[in-house]
């Protein structure tokens, strides 16, 4: 009985990958095309015979149980009795020459699709349902995905005889090698449609316009993608649809600017309102709310309205609404107004010729920009 494990230099419990690796390594050294030594040719036949047995799960199992398919005659079988050059190529290139065996299925999964939706800020804050209309691949209603004209059929390909593949002989450093490729006549399907459907030309799908409703969750922002499983393009021959991805874009709001889950806006106050204080009415996304301006409000002060910002994604918590005060100083005064201001300055003991110099502070929008960049 031959010692095939010893011939390949592997242990009896070696994995199929270890056996294949050992054979590849030895075959590269011993093949007659690269080693002219007559002894090398004999050794090559020997290891090829060993790989033929150990590389096949059933033959290996029989060999381990005491049955030698070559009857102990090393080299007598050569490359017959079930061993072919495709096995050698499989050992060399890890995957064989032919690739997929048998005809391929016409039914394939469809591609994923990406479309965009533009929503208002209020929809991003509270969520919404949007109707989307887009062009996509759908099942052909005439043939219902079959690809053949109703009442007609298919026949087995005369070239590949239903296998979906054809073989051809090529020369290589190993000699003549049989290779396998998809059949051009049937495109690898193994059968040919006698009369393709007029509407889909045999594809089983057509382009059409669809309208679907998409639930936009509260808290989304520009760039957020919503995945809709099975709403993408239908595959060839009516195959399962891919997924649809909806990318959200939030329109700019005339009053509010979003930063994270907070909303920001500015209010322009007369100098007197900032000094004396007042209450203003602001139209928020939740309706009208009072904004209390405390006496002595300074330019850039922020009034915070809690829980009037954006809803956090996948949560019920909300951010805040930040109102930035911008105090407007009058540029033109009549004589009476000027006199009143001078009297006020005298009463407050303010010397108009004296001032304290300090570093330049950023304006309102500069502060807003810095605040956004820091978050």
Q: Which residues of 62-98 are buried (b: 16+ CB within 10 A; e: fewer)?
A: ebeeeeebbeeebeebeeeeebebbbbbbbbeeebbb
Mind listing the pLDDT tens digit for each residue in 293-332? 999 999 999 999 999 999 998 888 999 999 999 999 888 8
- Binding site annotation covers 197? yes
Successive 10-residue mean pLDDT values, the chain, 375 residues: 86 87 84 74 84 83 74 41 45 44 85 94 95 94 92 90 82 67 88 91 93 95 94 93 95 95 95 93 95 93 96 91 93 89 87 72 56 48
Structure-token pair, residue 58: 């059933």
Check if 113-145+202-250 and 257-374 are the same fold.
Answer: yes
pLDDT at 373: 52
What is d(CA 248, CA 116) in angstroms, rounded to the nearest whole number?
A: 6
For domain 4-93, the CATH class is: mainly alpha
pTM for the model? 0.62
Sign, CA dihedral 103-20-58-32, equals positive
Where along the chain do its domains lie? 4-93, 113-145+202-250, 257-374
The CATH architecture assigned to 113-145+202-250 reads Sandwich (2.60)
The strand order across the sheet containing 244-250 reads: 113-119, 244-250, 225-228
What is d(CA 182, CA 271) in angstroms, rounded to the nearest whole number?
A: 83
pLDDT at 174: 59
pLDDT at 43: 86
- Binding site annotation covers 186? yes
pLDDT at 87: 46
The CATH architecture assigned to 257-374 reads Sandwich (2.60)
- Binding site annotation covers 265? no
For the chain, give percent helix, strand, coil, nearest 5: 25, 30, 45
């Amino acid at each position: 009985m031959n010692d095939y494990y010893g011939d390949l230099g592997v242990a009896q419990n070696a994995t199929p990958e270890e056996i294949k690796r050992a054979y590849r390594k030895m075959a590269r050294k011993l093949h007659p095309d690269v080693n002219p030594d007559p002894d090398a040719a004999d050794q090559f036949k020997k290891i090829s015979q060993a790989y033929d047995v150990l590389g096949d799960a059933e033959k290996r199992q029989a060999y381990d149980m005491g049955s030698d398919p070559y009857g102990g005659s090393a080299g007598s079988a050569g490359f017959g009795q079930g061993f072919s050059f495709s096995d050698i190529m499989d050992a060399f290139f890890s995957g064989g020459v032919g690739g997929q065996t048998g005809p391929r299925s016409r039914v394939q999964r469809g591609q994923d699709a990406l479309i965009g939706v533009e929503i208002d800020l209020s929809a991003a804050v509270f969520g919404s349902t949007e109707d989307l209309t887009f062009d996509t691949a759908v099942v052909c209603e005439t043939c219902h995905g079959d690809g053949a004209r109703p009442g007609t059929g298919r026949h087995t390909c005369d070239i590949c005889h239903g296998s979906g593949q054809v073989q051809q002989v090529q020369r290589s450093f190993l000699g003549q090698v049989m290779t396998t490729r998809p059949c051009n006549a049937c495109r690898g399907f193994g059968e040919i449609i006698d009369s393709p459907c007029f509407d889909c030309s045999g594809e089983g799908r057509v382009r059409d316009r669809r309208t679907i409703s998409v639930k936009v969750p509260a808290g989304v922002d520009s760039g957020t993608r919503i995945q809709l499983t099975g709403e993408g393009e239908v595959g060839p021959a009516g195959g399962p649809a891919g997924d649809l991805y909806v990318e959200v874009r939030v329109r700019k709001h005339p009053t509010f600017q979003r930063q994270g889950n907070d909303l920001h806006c500015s209010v322009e106050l007369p100098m007197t309102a900032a000094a004396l204080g007042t209450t203003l009415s602001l139209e928020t996304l939740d309706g009208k709310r009072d904004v209390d301006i405390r006496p002595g409000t300074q330019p850039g002060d922020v009034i915070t309205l809690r829980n009037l910002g954006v809803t956090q994604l996948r949560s019920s918590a909300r951010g805040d609404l930040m109102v930035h005060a911008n105090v407007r100083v009058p540029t033109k005064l009549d004589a009476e107004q000027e006199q009143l201001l001078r009297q006020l300055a005298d009463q407050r003991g303010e010397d108009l010729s004296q001032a304290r110099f300090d570093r330049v502070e950023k304006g309102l929008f500069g502060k807003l920009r810095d605040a956004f960049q820091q978050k």
